[in-house]
Amino acid sequence: MDIKALIFDLDGVLVDTAKYHYLAWKRLAEELGFFFSQENNERLKGVSRVRSLEILLEVGGLQFDEEAKTKLATKKNNWYVDYILKMTPDEILPGVINFIKEAKNQGLKTAIGSASKNAKTILERTDLLKYFDAIIDGNKVSTAKPDPEVFLLAAAELGVKPDECIVFEDAEAGVEAALNGKMRVVGIGSEKNLGHAHLVIPGFENASLASFLKLAI
């Protein structure tokens, strides 16, 4: 089956926002009286905001009711939004723009498939919005990765079938989501945690679109 579309996760694939998520979560942990390490922050990649808070509270050994949790998540998000509002196109990861331009020149469709409710803000600030034919983000989905909903919605909005798509993902849950959606998936990062992907690359610098188009499912 010929590839007709590329679907990109946003955080960790096109831009590095994990550092901003970390600063905001760490500040929340400090307010709650414990230290949240960078290592623990790795566990939040690709994970929804609510689930991220639950993991953070597990680390701190704390429990809150739903109302208090909503307040904490909002507090963290306000700090996070302060950071991403200051983002610029310089923060797009190396090789990304050239890769997307090449794909568009070859007639491929492109979409964002992200768990983030802040995806639009990030895409606007970094001037990436114009490169995508569809944006499916945390405001449009009801189930989190590894459920394939976000990627299936992206394919549907682009008018292509799942097996005509390649997904690019940096998180384990995202790789599983793409596989659950019967899509090809390229992992961005290391083989260690993304080993289930059809192919793993360190980033888009020197990435070969031609070799991805030949990936067998």
Interacting residues toward ligand G6P by CB under 6 A? 11-12, 21, 44-49, 52, 77, 115-118, 138
What is the nearest approach in angstroms of ligand G6P to the Cβ of residue 1?
Answer: 28
What is the nearest approach in angstroms of ligand G6P to the Cβ of residue 22?
Answer: 9
Integer angstrom CA distances of residue 124 from 49, 59, 88, 194, 196: 21, 33, 9, 29, 32
Active-site positions?
9, 11
Binding to Mg ion by residue 9, rule CB under 5 A? yes
Tokens of 142: 């009801």
Q: Measured from the CB atom, is 47 or 92 closer to ligand G6P? A: 47
> Could you give the CA distance from residue 101 to residue 181 in angstroms, rounded to a whole number?
26
Q: Measured from the CB atom, is 45 or 125 closer to ligand G6P? A: 45
Nearest partner of 45 among 147, 165, 145, 185, judged by Cα: 145
Nearest partner of 103 among 197, 15, 198, 14, judged by Cα: 14
Ranges within 11-30 binding Mg ion (CB under 5 A) = 11-12
Residues that bind Mg ion (CB under 5 A): 9, 11-12, 46, 170-171
